[in-house]
Structure 1
Amino acid sequence: MDVTRLLTRLYSDEGRQDPYPCYAGLHELGPVSPVPATGGHRTFAAVAVGYDLVSQVLRDPGWYKQAPPGWQEQEVLRTLQTSMMFVNPPEHTRMRAVFAKTFTPRRLGALEPTVHRVVDDLLDRMADAGDADLDFVAEFAYPMPALVMAEFIGIPAGELDFYRQRVERIDEYLDVAGKTPQRRDAANTAAAELRDFYAELIAHRRRRPGEDLISALVEASDSGDVELTPDELVSNLIVLFNAAFVTTVYMFGNGLPLLLAHPDVVAALPGDDTLTRGAVDEILRLEAPVHLLARAAPGDTEIGGVPVERDHNVLLVLAAANRDPARFPDPDRFDPRRGGPPSLAFGAGLHFCLGAAVSRLEGRLALPKLLARFPGLTVAEAPTYSGSLFLRGIDKLLIHTRGGSA
C-alpha cells in the first residue's frame, strides 16, 4: 500500500481507533516517505516513522513549529501560539526558562506525599464501591493526575469538572479530524472562558498568595524577576495544565490493559521499583498519548534522502517511531525489562515535555499501589478510545475490582 492510501486510512474513523497497522505499513515503506501532492496541494512534504530520523528532527533547533495562518483571529490559536509549547526560540527559550525553574528535583520530591495521599484516597473510594464494575478513567485515571496538578498549580479541586469540559473542546479541535467550524467555535469559547478563569484566579492569588505555582509566578512577575507578559502567563498556565495531566490520564488508561495482559508483571510490580519504572516506560513506548507532531524545514534540505523545501512541513509520527523494528526488536511486544533507546512519548529536544518527570513519578507511585490493593482486578469490557490521533487514549475503561483489600 502506498503512503497516500496509508495516510487516508490512518485519518479515517477506523484508522484513528487502531492506527498501528497503518504505522506498520509506513515502516514497510521505509523510515521516511515523500507525500505526493493531491490537487496541487499537500499538507506535508513527507512522513517520518523511523526512530532515528524523528529524533534527529526533534533535536535539531533549526526545524521549527509553523504557526497556522490567521492564528491571531482565533482565541484558541492565539492562546496556543503565545505559550512555550507552540512557539520557537527566542520566545520559547524565554518562556521555558521561567517554568523550568518550577520543575526542579526538589519540587518533584515535594509532590510525592501529595501523590501518595491522592492515590490512597481514590483507592479507598474504589474499594468502598465493593464488588462492582467501575469506570477506571472516571474513578482513577482522570482524577488522580488532575488533583495532583491542580494542587501543584493552584486550581481549586471543585473547578476541575468545569476545567475538563473546556480542555476537551480544545483537544477535539487540535486533532487531525477536528478542524470543523463547530469545533473551532467551541474551542474559541473554551479558550476565552479559561482565560477569564485564570485571570480571576491570578487576581485572587495576588491578594492571598499560597504555596502553589500560580502564587510563585505572580510574585515573581510582580517583582520583575520573570519575562512573561500577563497574556503569556495565562496562555502557558492553560497549556501547561493540559499537557501535564491529559498525557498522564492516557498513560494510566492505556497502560492498565497492557499490564493486566501480563499477570507475571502484575504480580511482581508491587515492591519492585526497577520493574515499575520499566513498565511505565514501556507503556509510554507502546501506547504514547501523543501520536503526531509536525516540524517545518528551515531551508531546502533532505531527510533520509527525501527532499524537503524550505518552510514545508514533515509529519513526525512519534507512536510509529516508538515501534521502529530497527530500534526495538519485536516492537509490538510489551517488555518492561526491555533495553534500548528512550521512547519519544514526551518528544525530544527543545520542546521535550516539562511534565514528563511528573507523569513518570505518578505512574511509578500509583501503579504498584493500585495492583496491590486490587490483585484480582480485570477489564470488564472493551475500552472506548478517544478517536483522536493528536492525543490518543482510552476515555472509558470498565473494570471489575473484585472487592480489593482494606
Structure 2
Amino acid sequence: MTNFKPTLAYAKEQDKHDPINRFREKFHIPKDKKGNDIVYLCGNSLGLQPKNTQKYIQEELDDWAKLGVEGHTEAQHPWMPYHELLTNTMAKIVGAKPSEVVMMNTLTTNLHLLMVSFYQPTKTKYKIVIESDAFPSDKYAVESQLDFHGFDKKEGVILWKPRKGEDLCRIEDLENILADQSDEIALILIGTTNYYTGQSFPIKEITELGHKHKCVVGFDLAHGAGNIQPDLHKNGPDFAVWCSYKYLNSGPGSLGGLFVHERHAKNPKLKRFTGWWGHNKKTRFNMRQEFDVLPGAEGWQLSNPPILSMAAIRASLDIFEEAGFDNILAKQKKLTGYLEFLLHDLKNDRISIITPSNPEERGCQLSLAVQDADRSLHDKLTKAGVISDWREPDVIRVAPAPLYNSFEDVFLMVERLKKCLE
C-alpha cells in the first residue's frame, strides 16, 4: 500500500474506519504505572486475555460447584462433549474440515503423538528435514524420535538453511535437498511461520514437493494458527500441530491442537499411542472392550479434556467467530504493512527488517535485526511502554495482533523506538 502517512492523525483515522476495531474493547490491555495503555505488540509470544474469559471459566466453576460429577452431562455446556464446542471455529481458522481437527494436549506432546503415527522410518529412509532455525522444541522432538528409533540424531536431521549472507530460506534449496537425498528422507517437518524471522513458508508447494518424493509432510503452526490461513485441507499436508496461547489468546500454557488430513481418517495401518478418549464415543464407558478408534483427528485423543482450559479457548474462539477470520487477516496485512512503512520511514541504519516484505510470505510479525545488538535497545523500548520480544542474538520481534492492536499502537511504537534510537 502506497498511501500510508507517518502521522498520528492518519493512524487515528485508520482506527476510526477499521471494521474490526471494536474488538479491541473485548480484551484486557495492560496498563503502565500511570494507568495508561501499554503498547502491547507481543501476541506472537502470549496473546492478551479476552474480557469474557473469566466469565466462561466461572460458568464451569459454578457448574462444578452445583453439579459435581453430573456436570459431565448436566452442565450448561456439558463437559463430555465440551471439546466439540471448539472444533468448527478452529477448523475455519486453519482451513480444515471439522473432522480433521481436535483441541488437546500441548503442542510438543501432539507433535510426538503424530510422529508415532507418521514417522515410520526404515533402515535407509529415516531422515527428517526441518528448517535450520526451527523452534528449539521441534528440534528436540525430532532428535529424540530419531534416538528412540535407534538412529544417530546428528546424521538423521537435515537442515534447510538460508544461503550465506541471507536470513530467509529459499524453496529451491529445499527442492535441491529432496532431489539429492529423498531416498533417505522419511519426514519433512516445517514451522509454517518461523518464530525468529517471521517468514511464512509455502505450505502447498512444500507438501507437493514432499509427496512427490514419497515423504510424509507435517507442519508446526505455533506461529501460524490465528495469524495466517494455512488452508490445511486444500494444501494437503499429512498432519499439523499448534498451540493456542499466542495468536489464539487462550492463556499461558493452554491446550494445543492438531490436524490430520481426512485421507488418513480410517487408515488401519497407522500406528498410534492410544487412550480412552480416542475410543468410540458410543461404547467408551463400557470399559472392557477392545480399543475401537474414532475416525478422524479425534482418534488421537488420549484423556478427557481439561474443561477450564477449554473454556478459555472457547472465550477467544467466540471472538474470532464474531469478527470473521477473513476480516482479521485483511486487517493483519494492512496493520503490519503500516508498521513496515513507518520503520522504513525511520531511515535508521541500525534497524533492518529481516521478515519478507511480501505480505503473502509473512503473518503479522516483523523481526527487526539490530546492528551491534546487546539487548539494550529492546530494554529501552520496554521502559518506554512498548512490550515486544527479544530473541538472541540480535532481533526484536514486533507483532501487531489485528484483534486488539490498533494503527495508533503501531504509530506510537515507532515513535518511541525513534526516541530510543536517539
Structure 1-normalised TM-score?
0.28
Determine which structure has the larger helix proportion and give its number: 1
Structure 2-normalised TM-score?
0.27
Q: Flag the structure with larger Rg.
A: 2
